[in-house]
Amino acid sequence: MIRYILILGLILGLFFPSIALSQEKSTISGYIKDGETGEELIGATVFVKELGTGTVTNVYGFFSLTLPNGSYNLKFSYVGFQDVEKQIDLTENTKFDIELPTNSKVLEEVVITGEQADANVKNVEMSVNKMEISTIKKIPALMGEVDVIRSVQLLPGVSTVGEGASGFNVRGGGVDQNLILLDEAPVYNSSHLFGFFSVFNPDAVKNVKLIKGGIPAQYGGRLSSILDVRMKEGNQKKFAGSGGLGLIFSRLTLEGPIKKDKASFVIAGRRSYADVLARPFLNDDLSDSKFFFYDLTAKVNYKLNDKNRFFLSGYLGKDVFGTGDFQFDWGNQTASARWNHIFNDKVFMNMTAIYSKYDYEFGVGDNQDGFNWQSNVINYSLKPEFTYYINPKNTLTFGAQTILFDFKPGNASFNSGGDANDISLEDQKAAESAIFVANEQKIGPRIALQYGLRYSIYQYLGEGNAYTLNDTTPGVERTVVSSQRYDQWETVEQYANFEPRLAIKYELTETSSIKASYNRMAQYLHLLSNTAASTPIDVWSPSTNNVKPQIADQYALGYFRNFKESTFETSVEVYYKDFQNQVEYINNADLILNEFYETQLLFGDGRAYGAEFYIKKAKGDFTGWISYTLARTERQVDGINRSEWFPTRFDRTHNLSVVASYQVNPRWSFSANFVYSTGTPGTFPTNRFNIQGWVAPHNSEERRNNYRIPDFHRLDVSATLSPKEKENRKWFGEWVFSVYNAYNRRNAFSVYFQENPDIPQNTEAIRLAIVGNFVPSVAYNFKF
Amino acid sequence: MKMPFQNLRTIWVMVGCVLLGPAITSCEDPIDVDLDEGTVQLAVDAFLTDESGEKRIVLTETTPYFDNTTQRFADGATVRITDDLGKVYDFQAAPEGQGNYIWEPDTADTNFGEVGRTYTLSVTHNGNTFEASSTVNPVPTLDSVTVEFREEEFGEEEGYYATFFAFDLPNREDYYWIRTYRNGVFFDDPTAINVSVDGAFGSNGADGFLFIIPIREFLINDDSDPYKLGDEVRVELWAITEPTWSFLGELASQLTNNGLFATPAANIRTNIVNADPNSDVKAVGWFSVSAVSSGTAIAGQ
């Protein structure tokens, strides 16, 4: 506790003296925008030539810089745009917006980073990867469908349990340990069609930022990463559209000003259409089959005046499968309303109200004989966040967040012979609140610090039953000893955590730096998933009196170096993560519609460590990156693997990604990516025995994840044909040809063991390959 | 509660076959895997019923998982069942050997498997004694079995399809195992291991209902090979205990644990316990005694 008070004191101590000093200074503030579309630029630089210092714009494109009064030359820049220089005589607080003209020559090249070229060395943040949507669009994609999550999986420290699996794993974290934000609203399931495609429409996405370590204090609630997906604001200048026809989706995005320079909108929709194409070819008994998925993304923003701006964004997505009397669907809905307010030139506020829902429904049969099941998780949240640009050396961020969760673990009923039976589970409620404060401080020209503290408090709320469970041999199902009823809004259990965050940068030279960070994260929600890949019917579940919050401490150290004027960016990072209260399951756990699901859970510790090597070429005709991660992820849970440490399901020792793109001429560009990773662990039997004619597998040593499936590797290639250059071209159409899994490898997703179907007394190991052949595709994309 | 996963698998097949068509075909093929052999353990296969006639228990030993040829029989064991009234049933090695042990009732003594009785099995083998017990639960009458002809439809071949009718016993929690025979041959498709709680899948809900349609119909038919004209369909309803229900559920899930949503492979439980709690020697397998009711129908009659 003393430690935290000291940190807080340090923050406040820096905060107050700087107010006293600020009198003979003035502040320059404003927005930096894309001159062509009016879209705000995130992470654009302002550089003061005389002082050799500067700042970058925040996620809303806002900057604020407080300098001693005087005459300055300012340079505004962003990769892919022409620099703008401006001379000012600073005598009082000054406010202006800057529009950067697009550099049409540069636009022809691939631009991997949106920021100033040496941000990776100069910024205090580490363990962060940013991807512009233009980069993501260059990566060869399955069925030609550009995909955010699958692109994220190519970054260092990120892996997946297998092709077609939902979500991703960051530095040894489970898929539920990533906070995926779409315009600040959490997305509970990021996948369409299990894990083949992610829910984000690439045409509506502006940029993507993955934070794996040194997580700033304004983020919390998940242990392993923040994936911050920001949507476009919509073209402020003119009406525009884009879209495409692929083999899976057809897409259309429209954007434009509602009132010039005041309000704009963007609306983007996608729908899969294989069902439409297939319908004429289906037999009568298949003609009522349903299999499609769609999503709709919309956003409007309104600039009331220089000080107030409002944003409203929404997302709606659904996957639907069915035949005849069977239907299964799932999807996310999110809405976020934001208010940017500038109190004065130095204090920027963003207030966000968030609604997010994930639900699924499953039905088979009819009123005579049938089964129906619905489940959802809903959250309502309010997050005020303030940025105080104290001086060029200190930027203070503080704020709060409160979230109310409403869980519907299962509303289910079945009918048999006309009799109905309700087997629903009771709803669960919980509240999570946090306050946070953080300061980014520059000490001299070489050192920068980012330190902060988040205090989170969580309540598991009634109405409902809380169960007391017995203690038993670890690994054996526990039993309910007693149960107590709680009233509506009554607190069943409360947890609180201090979450300190720290990051340090030390610049060794102009082109190299070392960085270190520490963060503690607390997670109060758990995705109950005991399957090889997480399924759409996995239930999000609160911490309860029996399920404690998960905690992780992460330490990371990195060396960053750029070569040839930041043409090559390189980094090496090592990390160590210590996890507590990781959720595991007893053998043959029954989690579905089980009121006493807590009896099926086990809790243990985790540890993950690794080294990440990264080389990126961000400029020129030839761009791309190589990322290699050497890692280990293990758990120790009493009752599993003889209570000894075992590798997790997503432990991959080696993980290599090579992404390359070559612009041959203004019309043709080629891209390729190659991935290699060690096979994931699996639990294989050692022995067998006969029972009632069946051959049962048995693992006599009771080991978990005692073998590995074969290694994974795959090459994808694509070629893009752009139209000829022409003045005043209104319609810009491009063709993308791609081949996924180019050398036709049958990568194992899993290996399982079974009786041979023809000779049941013979046992065999079966390799399941999700993509069993090479997949060519063609897509047409357009812009107008 | 297996149903949602079975349907997820159906969806997966649909996705693979129809939606993505020839472009993406997920595939499953056998591969070679080198497995270490674990400790050899006694395996007990003892599912007994209240039906008249001899009672048979098979004792074997575990073999390496991929060894398709070796059979290790646990001969020379002492096998005895005792009921809670102290009555002793001594099993003798069967003439054919191969780990078979039988008990033959004499004419005056045919009431093995009485409802409400608890039976305890004791097996002594290689100097270790293992014990297991099972209580016999009541079984409802199986009212009838019907067989009807159906045209080919989605996922189902043309042929005869059976349904049985029975009502769960009211006001108590009951566990059942439904075993189906075609012309006397047990329908042993591991995906169709048919167990039920109170006539439904889960442990929360139904009571006293007609057995739900997946149990009374879907799991007693083979969609790819339906019954043919003249086939005899016999359905047996076994009353089992909750632990036996769990054992069969785990067996079913481990025999069919495949696909994108497989669960971690886990050992199937056993109720065969070493009588010496300090011993490290373990056994596998199961002992169960059931009351049984049954019905029979002939396809096309």
* CATH code of the domain in which A12 resides: 2.60.40.1120
Please give the Cα distance from A554 to A171 (Å, whole number).
10
Q: What is the pLDDT at residue A115?
A: 53
ipTM above 0.90, yes or no: yes
Task: Give just the sign of the alpha carbon dihedral B96, B102, B108, B112.
Answer: negative
Cβ–Cβ under 8 Å, residues A298 and A258: no
pLDDT, chain A, mean: 88
User: Torsion-angle region of residue B100: left (phi > 0), alpha (psi -120 to 50) or beta?
Assistant: beta
Question: Scanning every residue of chain B, which has its alpha carbon at the shortest distance from the alpha carbon of A746?
Answer: B27
Mutate to test the interface with A, among B59, B65, B98, B268 (most CBs of A within 10 A): B65
Q: What is the pLDDT at residue B169?
A: 94
Nearest CB neighbour to B28, from listed A321, A594, A766: A766
- Whether A34 shows a pLDDT value over 90: the answer reads no
CB contact under 8 A, B64 and A687: yes
Of A58, A76, A108, which residue is a domain's last?
A: A108
Domains of chain B, by residue range, sit at 46-136+272-290, 138-261+291-298
Segment A86-115 mean pLDDT? 69
Q: Which of A168, A109, A152 is nearest to A134 (CA)?
A: A109
- Whether A4 shows a pLDDT value over 80: the answer reads no
Among A14-18, A28-32, B107-111, B248-252, where is mean pLDDT lowest? A14-18
Please give the Cα distance from B177 to B161 (Å, whole number).
20
Partners of B3 on chain A (C-beta within 8 Å) are 364, 371
Segment A409-424 mean pLDDT? 84
**DSSP secondary structure string for all residues of B35-99:** -------EEEEEEEESSSS-EEEEEEE-EETT-SS--EE--S-EEEEEETT--EEEEEE-TT-TT
Please report the number of interchain residue pairs, chain A to chain B, with beta-carbon separation below 8 angstroms: 279
Segment A340-355 mean pLDDT? 93
Note the pLDDT tens digit of each residue in A562-589: 998 888 999 999 999 999 999 999 988 8
Q: What is the pLDDT at residue B57?
A: 97
Note whether residue A695 is domain-resident: yes
- Whether A374 shows a pLDDT value over 80: the answer reads yes
Question: What is the residue type of A177?
Answer: Q
Note the pLDDT tens digit of each residue in A187-240: 999 988 877 888 999 999 988 999 999 999 999 999 999 999 999 989 888 999
Same domain for A182 and A101 = no
Q: What is the pLDDT at residue A483?
A: 94
- Label residue A1 exposed, middle or buried (CB < 10 Å: 0-12, 13-18, 19+): exposed
Among A64-78, A685-699, B76-90, where is mean pLDDT lowest? A64-78
Q: Which of A102, A98, A333 is nearest to A199 (CA)?
A: A333
Mutate to test the interface with B, among A374, A588, A651 (most CBs of B within 10 A): A588
**DSSP secondary structure string for all residues of B228-246:** -TT-EEEEEEEEE-HHHHH
Please give the Cα distance from B87 to B75 (Å, whole number).
25
CB contact under 8 A, B65 and A771: no
Instruction: Spell out the residues 6+ positions from residue A637 whose beta carbon is closer than 8 angstroms to its own.
Output: A474, A582, A584, A602, A603, A604, A605, A643
Q: Please indicate whether residue A355 or residue A532 has the higher confidence score (pLDDT).
A: A355
- Whether A556 shows a pLDDT value over 70: the answer reads yes
CB contact under 8 A, B206 and A414: yes
Note whether residue A221 is domain-resident: yes
Segment A730-754 mean pLDDT? 91
CB contact under 8 A, B269 and A588: yes
pLDDT band at A594 (very low <50, low <70, confident <90, very high): confident
CB contact under 8 A, B60 and A690: yes
Q: What is the pLDDT at residue B205?
A: 65
Same domain for A144 and A73 = no
CA distances from B152 to A283, B13, B226 (A): 12, 19, 10
Mutate to test the interface with A, among B24, B69, B164, B211 (most CBs of A within 10 A): B24
pTM value? 0.88
Partners of A26 in beta bridges: A67
Note the pLDDT tens digit of each residue in A652-691: 999 999 999 999 998 999 999 999 999 999 999 999 999 9
Q: What is the pLDDT at residue A112?
A: 41
Q: How far is CA A116 from the centre of its chain?
A: 23
Instruction: Write phi, then psi, for B152 (nearest 5 degrees).
Output: -65, 130
Nearest CB neighbour to A765, from listed B33, B38, B253: B33
CB contact under 8 A, B30 and A587: no
Question: What is the residue type of A778?
Answer: V
Percent of chain B with pLDDT over 90: 66
Q: Report which DSSP code applies to A93.
A: -
Instruction: Spell out the residues 6+ positions from residue A104 whose beta carbon is closer than 8 angstroms to its own.
Output: none
Segment A149-176 mean pLDDT? 92
Half-sphere exposure for A514 (CA within 13 Å, toward CB)? 5
Domain B138-261+291-298 in the same topology as domain B46-136+272-290: yes
pLDDT band at A11 (very low <50, low <70, confident <90, very high): very low
Instruction: State how far residue B109 is from chain A, nearest Cα, in angstroms.
Output: 26
Note whether residue A491 is domain-resident: no
- Whether A15 shows a pLDDT value over 50: the answer reads no
Segment A372-393 mean pLDDT? 93
CB contact under 8 A, B285 and A691: yes
Q: Helices then strands (H, E): number in chain B? A: 3, 19
Instruction: State how far residue A491 is from chain B, nearest Cα, in angstroms.
Output: 27
CB contact under 8 A, A751 and B31: yes
Note the pLDDT tens digit of each residue in A170-199: 999 999 999 999 999 999 999 888 778 889
Q: What is the pLDDT at residue B16?
A: 46
Partners of A413 in beta bridges: A372, A422
* CATH code of the domain in which A168 resides: 2.40.170.20
Joined together, the tokens standing for residue A136 give 């993501």
Please give the Cα distance from A46 to A62 (Å, whole number).
11
CB contact under 8 A, A274 and B11: no
pLDDT band at B23 (very low <50, low <70, confident <90, very high): very low
- Whether A1 shows a pLDDT value over 60: the answer reads no
Question: What is the residue type of A400?
Answer: A
Note the pLDDT tens digit of each residue in A468-477: 999 888 888 8
Segment B140-168 mean pLDDT? 90
Nearest CB neighbour to B261, from listed A324, A533, A771: A533
CB contact under 8 A, A373 and B4: yes
Instruction: Spell out the residues 6+ positions from residue A762 whose beta carbon is closer than 8 angstroms to its own.
Output: A755, A756, B68
Q: Please indicate whether residue B230 or residue B203 has the higher confidence score (pLDDT).
A: B230
- Whether A49 shows a pLDDT value over 90: the answer reads no
Note whether residue A484 is domain-resident: no
Note whether residue A765 is domain-resident: yes
**Contact with chain A for residue B266, Cβ under 8 A:** yes
Same domain for A165 and A102 = no
Segment A749-771 mean pLDDT? 89
Partners of B204 on chain A (C-beta within 8 Å) are 423, 593-595
**Contact with chain A for residue B130, Cβ under 8 A:** no
Please give the Cα distance from B280 to B274 (Å, whole number).
8
Question: What is the residue type of B60?
Answer: T
Instruction: Spell out the residues 6+ positions from residue A515 whose beta carbon is closer than 8 angstroms to its own.
Output: A124, A126, A214, A503, A504, A505, A506, A557, A558, A560
pLDDT band at B12 (very low <50, low <70, confident <90, very high): very low
Question: Scanning every residue of chain B, which has its alpha carbon at the shortest distance from the alpha carbon of A420?
Answer: B206
Q: What is the pLDDT at residue A246?
A: 84
Q: Residue A747's domain spans which residues?
A: 128-477+500-783
Q: What is the pLDDT at residue A485?
A: 96
pLDDT band at B156 (very low <50, low <70, confident <90, very high): confident
Return the CATH number of B138-261+291-298, one of 3.40.50, 3.20.20, 2.60.40, 2.60.120.
Answer: 2.60.40
CB contact under 8 A, A684 and B45: no
Q: What is the pLDDT at residue A433?
A: 97
Partners of A434 in beta bridges: A401, A456
Instruction: State how far residue A254 is from chain B, nearest Cα, in angstroms.
Output: 28
pLDDT band at A163 (very low <50, low <70, confident <90, very high): confident
- Whether A81 shows a pLDDT value over 60: the answer reads yes
CB contact under 8 A, B260 and A164: yes
Note whether residue A628 is domain-resident: yes
The residue to which tokens 């005849």 are assigned: A324
Please give the Cα distance from B276 to B17 (Å, whole number).
54
CB contact under 8 A, A750 and B284: no
Segment A484-499 mean pLDDT? 96
Specify the long-range contacts of residues A481-486, CB closer than 8 Å, at least 24 apart.
A486/A461, A486/A462
> What number of other Cβ atoms are within 10 A of residue B275's Cβ?
12
- For chain A, what is the domain count? 2
Partners of A302 in beta bridges: A263, A310
Q: What is the pLDDT at residue B203?
A: 58
Partners of B37 on chain A (C-beta within 8 Å) are 686-687
Q: Which CATH architecture has domain B46-136+272-290?
A: Sandwich (2.60)
Q: Please indicate whether residue A112 or residue B66 has the higher confidence score (pLDDT).
A: B66
- Whether A541 shows a pLDDT value over 80: the answer reads yes
Note whether residue A450 is domain-resident: yes
